[in-house]
Amino acid sequence: MNGARTGSPHLALLSLALLSPFLAPSLAQTCQSQSHAFSGNRDYASCAELPVLSSYLHWNYNETSNVADIAFRVTGVTSSNWLSWAINPAGQQMVGSQALVAYQNSSGSMWAYTSSVDSYQTCLTPGNLSFGVPNISAVLEGSDMTIFATLQLSSGMTTVNQVWQVGPMEGGSPGTHLTSGDNIESVGTLDFLSGIVAGSGGLGSSRQRRRNVHGVLNAVSWGTLMPMGALIARYLKVFQSADPAWFYLHISCQASAYAVGVAGWATGLKLGNESSANNKVHGNIGLALFVLGTIQGFALLLRPKKDHKYRLYWNVYHHTVGYTVIVLSIVNVFKGLDIQDPEQKWRTAYIGIVAFLGAGAAILEAVTWYIVIKRKKTASSTPKISHSINGDDGYNNGRA
């Protein structure tokens, strides 16, 4: 794959140079066609197609008064969607965004308002912005929804960080938007004077890397190493030659799984605090795994000897907690995949791992049961020789 990319930047530049005379007019025509379609005799000197979410921004900017008249349009939406466009003085991120929000309310009228996003848990409730918005309105025409607004910006705000978003309506108010794909790439910069719009993917870059790290750590630890450790304990100890090596392999595997899993759980806590998405089930299962794994580790220190009267109860506890952790781990990995929504190959790869572990367990279960049954039959068919006090063969031959 790396070899295939050699020289690709030169090819891309050449292709862009050849296509630019056709591409630029095409984008301009898209903007211009939308400008002519605006109601109320609105006309905008500048326009740009934003990188994701089928979004377009049109504007007029007065450098003397620092006033920007904007029209933010999203195509391919319905009355079940809300949309938002924001300027963020704090950076290319969601928190700190000074947002314009619009949706169709239950009466069928469009409602447009301003909202300051102060945290990842903040709902898009009406509120004042750090700059003035003397006029704001919105329209839904067919499958196109547009916010119109006048922004009274501060001096020097000619280049701004912009964030835009589309999400579903839930219970008559804006619901949680997707936290994957285009919805985390909808960020960039806008230069009101030059008209240059740059998409950076800032929301997706660092956070997506952390999401990937979180997913890999948990899939490897709770989702793979933990079941492998259980297989080692259940099946290797049947083979007498593996004693006590199986025990140390089991402990090493589970300890490694727990250590890596705690790191994955910690990254999950950080991501949960930063996310506006409702992933409570995934987070609660992760917390349960951490608690059960910690208790299981401490239980090892309290393990009774084999001949202790409480050893049976300890075994029941140890096995119950262990298998519960394995089931919850696999379930939570798949829940994480649903949230992350990666390429299908990653889901297929983990399904392959689970299938491999399951098939291995089935084969080893049959083999070890065969060995145990055969061993019992051999033991039962072997005559037991005992010796009496007098040194005979154990049979008193009628003697008292």
Higher-pLDDT residue of 125 and 20 is 125
pLDDT band for position 375 (cuts 50, 70, 90): confident
Q: Is the pLDDT of residue 394 over 60?
A: no
**Closest alpha carbon to 164 in 300, 52, 4, 23:** 52
Looking up tokens 């790869």 gives: 349
When the pLDDT of each residue in the chain is averaged and rounded to a whole number, the result is 80
Looking up tokens 């987070």 gives: 283
Cα separation, 191 vs 208, whole angstroms: 26
pLDDT of residue 32: 55
Average pLDDT over residues 77-85: 91
Encode pLDDT of 244-291 as tens digits: 889 899 999 999 999 999 998 988 887 777 554 567 888 899 999 999
Residue spans in the chain of domains classed CATH 2.60.40.1210: 33-200
Burial tier of 101 (Cβ tally within 10 Å: 0-12, 13-18, 19+): buried
What is the bridge-based pairing of β-strands 46-49 and 110-116? unpaired
Higher-pLDDT residue of 90 and 4 is 90
User: Of 116-125, 216-225, 236-245, 325-334, which gets the smallest average pLDDT?
Assistant: 116-125
CATH code: domain 33-200 is 2.60.40.1210
DSSP 255-288: HHHHHHHHHHHHHHHHHHHH--S--HHHHHHHHH
pLDDT band for position 10 (cuts 50, 70, 90): very low
Over pLDDT 70: what percentage of the chain? 80
Q: Is the pLDDT of residue 387 over 70?
A: no
Looking up tokens 């063969």 gives: 393
Burial tier of 200 (Cβ tally within 10 Å: 0-12, 13-18, 19+): middle
Average pLDDT over residues 108-126: 81
99, amino acid identity: A
pLDDT of residue 278: 60
CATH architecture of 206-379: Up-down Bundle (1.20)
pLDDT band for position 399 (cuts 50, 70, 90): very low
Under DSSP, the state recorded for 52 is S
Measured from the Cβ of residue 239, the count of other Cβ atoms closer than 10 Å reads 13
Average pLDDT over residues 297-304: 84
Higher-pLDDT residue of 206 and 171 is 171
User: Of 31-40, 113-122, 221-230, 285-294, which gets the smallest average pLDDT?
Assistant: 31-40
Q: Is the pLDDT of residue 154 over 80?
A: yes
Over pLDDT 90: what percentage of the chain? 30
Q: Is the pLDDT of residue 172 over 90?
A: no
Q: Is the pLDDT of residue 59 over 60?
A: yes
Bridge partner residues of 47 (DSSP):
58
Average pLDDT over residues 389-396: 40
Encode pLDDT of 159-168 as tens digits: 888 999 999 9
Encode pLDDT of 12-31 as tens digits: 333 434 333 333 333 434 56
pLDDT band for position 138 (cuts 50, 70, 90): very high
pLDDT of residue 8: 40
**Closest alpha carbon to 189 in 159, 155, 233, 210:** 159
pTM above 0.85, yes or no: no
User: Positive or negative, the Cα torsion across 158, 159, 161, 166?
Assistant: positive
User: Of 56-70, 123-137, 206-220, 264-278, which gets the smallest average pLDDT?
Assistant: 264-278
pLDDT of residue 271: 76
Taken as a whole, the chain contains a residue count of: 400
Residue spans in the chain of domains classed CATH 1.20.120.1770: 206-379
Cα separation, 282 vs 259, whole angstroms: 19
Q: Which two tokens stand for residue 331?
A: 């379930």
User: Of 39-53, 59-73, 163-177, which gets the smallest average pLDDT?
Assistant: 39-53
Cα separation, 263 vs 268, whole angstroms: 9
How many C-alpha atoms does 248 have within 13 Å on its Cβ side? 4
